Amino acid sequence: MKTPVPFLISIQSLNRLFITILLISLFGINTLFSQNFSGLEGKNLTKVDDIAAGIASLIGSKGLEGRITKVTVTGDGERKLVLKAEYSGFAEAYLHASVLAADKTVQNEVGTAGLDLAGKTSPVTVELNLTDNVSEGFKLESSYLQIRVSKNKTAVGGLLFLFAMDKSWQNEIRAENLTLQARLVPVGITSELREGNKIVVIPSNRSMVVQKYSQSSAIRTQPLQTKTATQMTRSAYRMPVYERAPAKSKTEIPDQNKPTATITAKTIDSRFVTTGLALDKTETASGAKGPDNSPLPLFEDLRVSKDFEFPYEITNISMDVFPDKNPSSGIFYYLPAAYHLRWTPDDGYAFRILYGTASAESEGQVRMTATLSPDISKKEIDLITKLITSYISRNPGMKFTKLRMVPTSEEPAVSFPAELNSQYEVTAEKVSVNITSSLREPFQVSWVTDNTTKDEMQVSLIERTGIQGVMTIRSQSEYLPDIKLPVVITLADSRTIGRIDLENKKWRTTPWKNQTPYPIKLKYLHMLLVKDEAGKSTPFIYSWSLNDLTVPVSSSVNFDASLVPSWVDDTDMAQRIWLEYSVADCDECDRAVINKITGGTYGTTTKRVTFETFQLFEKLDAQFIQIKVRSTQADPRGEKLVELDPVRIYRDNETVESGQLYVPLEASLAFEYFITVVMKDGSSYKSSDWLRSDEMEIYLGLDALKSAIPGIPVNNEQ
């Protein structure tokens, strides 16, 4: 028999408590309250005195004594109505509940609820539901609730009670069967385009640069804790930052856009040449010296009908492209705009958490592994190539023969600095980077941390701030100083999910389906075009508003292109067509994603069970008491029953802790423990069986021990 113990909460740290409260507040609130679809929840229904009901009650009501005194709505969903009915009498009777239309005819689309009142006491719960055979999109309004009380389930007639209510019912169309209609509205000069007049109108506005370079001698990292979640996430996607040497004197101030630091020539590892990370012999033979520090301003070169806040909204390649120090080589160099967590519709998020083995003495470490991707496809390369060609056509004397990634002289390093993540810091030496080929390809990063930091990182993912870091690239160039690129691991982020590209012409007739794990808000449809005229070309973007149309997960969209001339997206016109969107807030979606990427340990608070004895050693000739704990919660995945290392108690009022238990947010603590008492003479006494518990603190007194180990000898026992 289990000895009752007082309920105490052991707080390991304020951080853990905050994280638990935050997770509950984010994801638990929706489970505490129902939909209140018709606004009836919590209301008492008004009884209606109806003559027809009174007459009907005369039939089959002989011997029935009682009345329905009160009906309260406790649940009001789209397909469900839950009632609490209070009554007096009706010791032996059967209750039938149904809903009626305004003309008081029974609505059979809602099933009749039945309840035998024999042996029951007031109040009772009654639930009515839409039948399963109603079609998707079905809607119904019910004006009355009718309760009939009969002598038994099959008896005809009885007493009728009528209550007024305005209940709405709905069988929602399943998301996968839902197709929304999206109307495209021209933005700015786009409205001047005409179907019957193939005249290309070039916008007069140029793109606006938000922040091109840092203004200090190193990367500028602003404290993120003072910003909103959206600002924190977006601030990491600045243009690449280049370190500069300080000016030598007040009269020798370097151009802020042209760092003047001289970089010593670097010795290149041959494997960097083999894998394409460094310049090869063919490139150096053609005169390549590496990137110069005077990038082409391709972003500023664009003409737009709608402002773009960040270059990455247009392409995943940084729109600062560097010419070679030797212009005659014709080589230009590019960089990713940022590295972000890889996501695909088939495989989901490439992010995993692996728990190490914990013991009673030490907390197990946690390995976190992410696949980062610049998401640079051939389409991205072709687009930048087109923009470079356009730029050169308007700048005579420049030569372009090849576009390649900025060459590197060392393995890139990744870190997650404290100034970007106010709660934690993971330095470069703690991060393993595995880059085997071009920086254009996805690669893995992994780091080892403790459970507290893991929990804090998990909260960052949920809060949309993400795990923000920096990749440092040492260029194979005497002219281009070190480069720092944003590394951001986020979930509900358009950069992670990726750009939604549409196919020329096909987008007009083929619905687009939301295959992402989140509902998204469609903002604009953009087309990037390049106009060639008199040997020169100009890149520009047309935009059409989609008015923040929210598209649920798995739903589809048909685009109304009546205001988009058919010739605009001919293959020789539009170079890229894409959707600008944002990810809608969805707690349920966050929860599902976290569950998946952490192997079923979402919301896990690592807990330890504490054991304390009192007045045992003075009653027993015990040398020590050994306690073993086992549970499926000792396995991070919750799949296997794991026995933790035993703990020992040597004196009364001493507290010891078990190893780690991983308790999901939705679950209660659950474990078993086994007690062995080793006496001073070397003999031992063991529990007759494993003892189950869900308490974080176990207090072992004499009564509890005697119950667990019958027959254990006790000193001076009467």
d(CA 68, CA 87): 4
For 601-634, what is the HEC assignment? CCCCEEECCEEEECCCCCCCCEEEEEEEEEEHHH
Whether residue 205 is contained in a domain is answered as no
Q: pLDDT band for position 52 (50/70/90)?
A: low
The top-scoring range by mean pLDDT among 14-18, 282-286, 704-708 is 704-708
Shared-domain flag, residues 167 and 232: no
- Among the listed residues 89, 90, 94, 106, the one whose alpha carbon sits nearest the alpha carbon of residue 53: 106
Shared-domain flag, residues 170 and 232: no
- Among the listed residues 696, 552, 715, 683, the one whose alpha carbon sits nearest the alpha carbon of residue 612: 696
Whether residue 560 is contained in a domain is answered as no
Whether residue 87 is contained in a domain is answered as yes
Q: Strand, helix or coil at 506?
A: helix
Q: At which of 141, 157, 174 does a domain end?
A: 174
227 vs 125, 423, 481, 487, 657, CA distance in Å?
48, 14, 30, 18, 39
Shared-domain flag, residues 170 and 231: no
Q: At which of 513, 540, 558 does a domain end?
A: 513
Q: At which of 513, 536, 553 does a domain end?
A: 513
Shared-domain flag, residues 474 and 342: yes
523: pLDDT strictly greater than 90: yes
**In total, how many domains does the chain have?**
3
CATH number of the CATH domain containing 106:
2.60.40.2550
Residue 18 neighbours by CB under 8 Å, 6+ apart = none
Whether residue 267 is contained in a domain is answered as yes
Shared-domain flag, residues 170 and 274: no
For the ranges 4-18, 186-200, 527-541, which has the lowest average pLDDT? 4-18
Task: Work out the average pLDDT over 480-503.
Answer: 90
Give 629 or 284, the one with higher predicted confidence: 629
CATH number of the CATH domain containing 698:
2.60.40
Q: What is the dihedral of CA 689, 694, 696, 698, to 10 degrees?
A: -40
Give 502 or 55, the one with higher predicted confidence: 502
Assign residue 494 a region (left: φ > 0; alpha: ψ between -120 and 50; beta: otherwise): alpha
Whether residue 704 is contained in a domain is answered as yes
Shared-domain flag, residues 291 and 416: yes
Task: Pull the structure tokens for residue 258.
Answer: 């042209």
Shared-domain flag, residues 163 and 240: no
Q: Strand, helix or coil at 605?
A: strand
Task: Pull the structure tokens for residue 435.
Answer: 């880059």
25: pLDDT strictly greater than 50: no
Whether residue 79 is contained in a domain is answered as yes
- Among the listed residues 122, 132, 120, the one whose alpha carbon sits nearest the alpha carbon of residue 68: 122
Shared-domain flag, residues 502 and 632: no
Give 391 or 364, the one with higher predicted confidence: 391
Shared-domain flag, residues 630 and 498: no
516: pLDDT strictly greater than 90: yes
Q: What angle do the packed helices 451-462 and 587-597 form, to 10 degrees?
A: 140
Summarised one tens digit per residue, pLDDT across range 227-243 is: 333 333 334 444 344 44
Q: pLDDT at position 659, please?
A: 84
Shared-domain flag, residues 143 and 271: no
Q: pLDDT at position 18, please?
A: 42
Whether residue 316 is contained in a domain is answered as yes
* Contact (CB, 8 A) for 417 and 484: no
d(CA 453, CA 456): 5
pTM higher than 0.85 = no
Whether residue 663 is contained in a domain is answered as yes
**Side chain identity at residue 174, one-letter code:** R
Shared-domain flag, residues 345 and 435: yes
**Side chain identity at residue 435, one-letter code:** I
* Domain that residue 115 falls in: 46-174
Shared-domain flag, residues 140 and 287: no
Residue 7 neighbours by CB under 8 Å, 6+ apart = 695
